[in-house]
Amino acid sequence: MSTPFKVLQSKFILLPQCDIDTDQIVPARFMATTSEEGLAHAFFYDARHDEAGQKKSDHVLNVKDIADHQILVAAANFGCGSSREHAVWALKDFGFRAVLTPKAADIFKSNAINNGVLVIEIHQAFYELLSQNQSSSMTIDLEKQTISLLGAGVSTFQVDSFARRCLLMGTDRLGYLLESLPAIRAFEAARRLNSTE
């Protein structure tokens, strides 16, 4: 169960590189944990720190106040590569609640929904607009499926209806599946009968 996501008003941080993979989001050495908590430190660690382990003063994720910037805007194919959910745990722990990108990787999208993080696949033109208005604030209304960008009007977005419902209500997908256990057991029983084994 995660906190319901209804309306989010925030500024955003832009990462303009294409194909940002989950190894960059959380380097493998930070995955040697049995907890999903406390991963903010690992978030883009190698990009945010110098060789001596000091925070780089010029990296966008170190410069901006995350409390005011809860939306991450990234170039296409964000979250590609490894299936590590650690990438979403770290992103959330760092303070982000939504990711806007022209294309998000499949497994990353599932992981995000499972953690109450909204991923919106935006048109390339809207991505370009955002990259030219990086200091703007925006309001994401998940109920109405709109994004209003200060000074640039309101646009609508598409999102999977089930993902939307889960986010709006904070629905637990595992709980949803558990409710289907009778149907699952019936399926298993029918399969055994039909089995050629």
Partner 1 sequence: MALTLFEKIWNTHLVSEESAESPGILFIDFHLLNEVTSPQAFKQLAKRMIPIHRPSGALAIIDHSTPTLPAGIDGRRPYVTRDAENQVITMERNSHEQGIRFLGWEDPLRGIVHVVGPELGLTLPGMTIVCGDSHTSTHGAFGALAFGIGTSEVAQVLATQCLLQRQPKTMRVLVSGSLRRGVSAKDLALQVVTQLGAGGAAGYVIEFAGEVIAELSMEERMTLCNMSIECGARAGIIAPDNVTFEWLRNCPEAPNNIEHLVSAWVELKTDNQAIFDAEILVDANVIEPMVTWGVTPDTAVAISQCSPEMDLDDPRRVSLDYMGFKSGAAMKGQRIDYVFIGSCTNARLPDLRIAAEIMRGRKIPPHVTLLVVPGSESVRRAAEAEGLDEIFLSAGGEWRLAGCSMCLGMNGDLVPAGKRVVSTSNRNFIGRQGTGARTVLASPATAAASAIAGVLADPREFYS
* Closest approach of partner 1 to the CB of residue 49, in Å: 9
Q: Which residues pair with 101 in a beta bridge?
A: 121
Report the side by side order of strands in the sheet with 118-121.
118-121, 98-101, 71-74, 7-15, 137-141, 146-149, 153-156
* Collapsed DSSP state (helix, strand, coil) of residue 126: helix
Contact stretch for partner 1 (CB under 8 A) within 5-13, 21-29, 57-65, 144-152: 21-29
In angstroms, give the least distance from the CB of 81 to partner 1: 6
The angle formed by the CA atoms of residues 105, 96 and 39, to the nearest 5 degrees, is: 85
Decide if residue 17 touches partner 1 (CB under 8 A).
yes
Residue 152 lies near partner 1 (rule: CB under 8 A): no
Positions in 85-144 near partner 1 (CB under 8 A):
85, 88, 103, 105-107, 110-111, 114-115
Other beta carbons within 10 angstroms of residue 152's beta carbon come to 15
* SS3 state at 88: helix
Residue 193 touches partner 1, criterion: CB under 8 A: no
Least distance to partner 1, CB of residue 42, Å: 12
Tell me the C-alpha distance between 81 and 15, whole Å: 17
Q: Which residue ranges make up the site for partner 1 (CB under 8 A)?
A: 17-19, 21, 23-24, 27-29, 31-36, 46, 51, 76-77, 80-85, 88, 103, 105-107, 110-111, 114-115, 160-162, 165, 173-174, 176-178, 180-181, 183-184, 187-188, 191, 196-197
